[in-house]
Amino acid sequence: MGKNKAIFLDRDGVINIDKQYVCKIQDFEFMDGIFELLRHLQQLDYMLIIVTNQSGIGRGYYTQEDFDTLSIWMLEQLKEHGIHIEKIFYCSHAPEVQCHCRKPNPRMLCDAQKEFNIDLTSSWMIGDKKSDVDAGKNAGISKTIFVSKADCSESYGADFCVENIRQIQHIIEN
Ligand SMILES: [Mg+2]
Ligand SMILES: [Zn+2]
Residue 2 has a pLDDT of: 60
Model confidence at 144: pLDDT above 60 = yes
Cα distances (Å, whole numbers) of residue 35 to 24, 95, 120: 20, 31, 24
Instruction: Give the dihedral of Cα atoms 139, 143, 148, 151; nearest 10 deg.
Output: 140
Cα of 36 from ligand 2 centre, angstroms: 31
Cα of 2 from ligand 1 centre, angstroms: 31
- Taking only the tens place, the pLDDT of each residue in 15-48 is 999 999 999 999 999 999 999 999 999 999 999 9
The bridge status of strand 160-162 relative to strand 46-53 is unpaired
Cα of 100 from ligand 2 centre, angstroms: 6
Cα of 46 from ligand 1 centre, angstroms: 21
Averaged pLDDT score across all residues of the chain: 97
Residue 174 has a pLDDT of: 82
Q: Which ligand is nearest to the CA of 107?
A: 2
Model confidence at 1: pLDDT above 70 = no
Query: 15-173: which CATH architecture?
Result: 3-Layer(aba) Sandwich (3.40)
Cα of 14 from ligand 2 centre, angstroms: 20
Average pLDDT over residues 103-109: 98
Model confidence at 163: pLDDT above 80 = yes
Domain-wise residue ranges, the chain? 15-173
Q: Which ligand is nearest to the CA of 131?
A: 1
Residue 160 has a pLDDT of: 98
Q: Active-site residues: which are they?
A: 10, 12
Q: What is the pTM of this model?
A: 0.97
Residue 83 has a pLDDT of: 98
Q: Which ligand is nearest to the CA of 97?
A: 2
Return d(Cα 75, Cα 93) in angstroms, integer. Answer: 22
Residue 142 has a pLDDT of: 86
